[in-house]
Structure formats: C-alpha cells, structure tokens
Amino acid sequence: MGVFSISSSSLLHSPKYCSLHSNIPTSFKNPKTSNFHPERTQFFQNHLFADSPLYPSVKCFSQRQEKQQLVQQVEAEQQFRDFERLFSNLNQATLKREPGSLSSSILLVAGTTVGAGILAIPAVTQEAGFLASAIICILCWIFMVVTGLLIAEVNVNTMCELGSGGVSLVSMAKRTLGNTGVQIACWSYIFIHYALLVAYVARSSDILTNFLGIPLWETASLFSLLFGGLCYFGSQRIIGAVNGALVVGIIVSFTTLVVVAGGDLHWDALLRSNLEAATRSIPIIALSFVYQNVVPVICTNLEGDLSKVRTSIVLGTSIPLALFLVWNAVILGTITAPEIGSATFVDPLQLLRSTNGVVGPIVDVFSVLAIATSYIGFVLGLSDFLADCN
C-alpha cells in the first residue's frame, strides 16, 4: 500500500491525513491482528484515498520505481553474461576486442575431428555389422567428449591460476603432473603432432599429384605453404572463415558421396550385429574422434567462457559422429552377405570405387578437404603448444 510508505512531513501533518488516520479502525492499522481482512483493506484504500490529490502521484512514483528496478536488474544480468569470459582477445594493431566466434569454434572442432580416415571405418566394422559398430561408435564419442570437457576444465582453471590466456599443455602439465609428467607429455605431444602432420602432407600430395599431374614435392610444398601460411599469418577471423568454408565443402562432398553410393542400399543388411567383433574396432573408432589438441585453442579464442567451450566441444564432435554413422550405414548396407562373410578381406571403399567411376573423384575431393581441416587444427594446436613453452 503506497500511501502508508509516504514519509513527507507535509503529508504526515496535514489535517486531512491526520483525521483520516484517526478514523482508521485498529484492524487496518495493525495487519497482524486476528481480524485482519485483505478485502477490507483494499476497499479502504480504494474508496478512502481515491479522492486524494497525492494518490495518483504516489502510484506513478511506484511504477517508475518498479521500472527502474527492472532496468537495473536487466543491466546487472547483462554485465554478468559479459564477464563470464576471463579476459578479452585484443587485436594488437587496433587494440580492439575481437571475441572468438562460437560457430567458428564448433567448426574448428568438427574439422579437426573429421579426417580422411572416416572413409576407411567400414573396413574395420564390416565384420561387426552396423548395429554393433554404431553402439561402439556412440560409446567412443561419449568417452572422447568427456575427455575434451575435462581438458577444458583444467585449461580454464589454469588460466585463472596464472592470470593469463594462451594456456596449453605445458602449463596444464606443470600444474597437475609435475616435472616428470611435463617431460613425458611434451615429448609425446611433439612426436604425435609432427608424425601426423607429415602423414597429412604425404597423403594430400599424393591426391593432388594424381589430380594436377605435377611432381610430388611440388604438391607437398604447395599444400604446406598454403595452409601453414594461413595458420601463421592469418588472423583468428580469417582462419575461422577458411576452416568453415572447408567444413561446408566436406559436408557437401560427403552428401554427394552418400547419394551416389547409397543407391543400392539393402536395409536388411543393417540388422546384422556381432558384438564380439565390434570390440576389436574400438581403437580405430576412438582415434577417429581425436580433437583434444585444439581444446586449449578454443578456450583462448572464446576467452575462457566455459559454457561456450562446452557447447563447441559437444556440437563440434556431433557432426563427425553423424558422418561416421551415415557413412558406415551406407557402405555396410550396400555390401552383400557373401562378401562380408568371405575369408578374404575386401576393402569396401575400393570395391565401391571399382563398381562406380563417379565415386573416385568425389572421394579425392572429400579426402583433401578433410586433411586440410585436420591440418589446420593440428598446426594451431602445435603453435599454441610451442608458444606456451616460452
């Protein structure tokens, strides 16, 4: 009741107010009494003070106060959302904040995860069948997502402890594993990354040499200079845009490949299942979900905002999961039972190439794009790691 909250001395000492207050029954003065009735109080407010010249102003003042409180609450919530980040990424040239894009982080995780090896998954799952291999694939995806989320938690907590961004495996290992753990983790990281980068360059140069008809060393140099230079000289926004375009190309080429290869799909072949054979494919399938090396990169790009980092990890790995399941279903659904049960090993992809001449060029395009996105992710992860060593 706005009238009883007025503290103006002129109102308290006005004859009208004093006379009205003296005539108020005790039940209205003290709402805690046993005969307090809210209906009577509302009636008293509406009829007794309705003709008071101060009542409209008191009501307007109450509405303005509520609006101000609502605006202050919205501003406080906006400030809280803004400061969910730990720091701000600044452009060294303009000194303006350049926050990382959530969509770019999602596509970076997806592009790093999707490699040319996805096309070889049916070769190791054909004995297990689609249902059993799909269960193994989903379980491996859950495991790898959890490991990425844990790395993100350690990375952001290390940022908070050190008070700086750009934290990679070195700082995390120092904080959690000690000096011996740092040496083991760092040398293993370097060995795996350089080995994979060499494999990416070698495979992409093979495909480009067959397509362009130029020497192998030239295509290897061209691939390395093009994408290595992009990662070294390009800004975060440019790298995100190029990687996003490559991921879109992957999805388009994959869709085309599925349409071409799935023309003779036998749905009953997808019901085959062999759980015992499926367990032997776990190492290959698990390695197909490797992306954890770019988790420190996206933590830095997203300024330590854990909610966005978690979203990028879950959604970024969901794209490769969908591609894996669809491709596995298409290939295993087009292979006849005698070929699957035969003693001799048959590569489903090579069989598909031999039966359909359109498949080969599409596979090459998909492979080059997938290798390029994986190369970008691994170079960014390695660059972040080497910067953390200094």
In this predicted model, what pLDDT tens digit does every residue of 78-110 receive, in sequence order?
544 444 566 666 665 666 667 778 999 999 999
Kindly report whether the global pTM for this prediction surpasses the value 0.85.
no
DSSP 8-class letter at 115: -
Q: How many CB atoms lie within 10 A of CB 195?
A: 10
pLDDT in the model for residue 336: 61
The rounded distance, in Å, linking the Cα atoms of 150 and 144 is: 10
**Which numeric CATH code is attached to 102-389?**
1.20.1740.10
List the domain boundaries for the chain. 2-82, 102-389
Question: What is the four-CA torsion angle of 70, 72, 74, 75, rounded to 10 degrees?
Answer: 160
Closest CA relative to residue 380, chosen from 208, 185, 238: 238
Share of the chain residues as helix, strand and coil, in percent rounded to the nearest 5: 80, 0, 20
Quote the pLDDT of residue 94.
63
- Give the separation between CA 329 and CA 270, rounded to whole angstroms: 7
- Coil, strand or helix at 172: helix
Per-residue pLDDT tens digits for 220-256: 999 999 999 999 898 888 999 999 999 999 999 999 9
User: Cα–Cα distances in Å, from 13 out to 5, 16, 21?
Assistant: 15, 9, 11
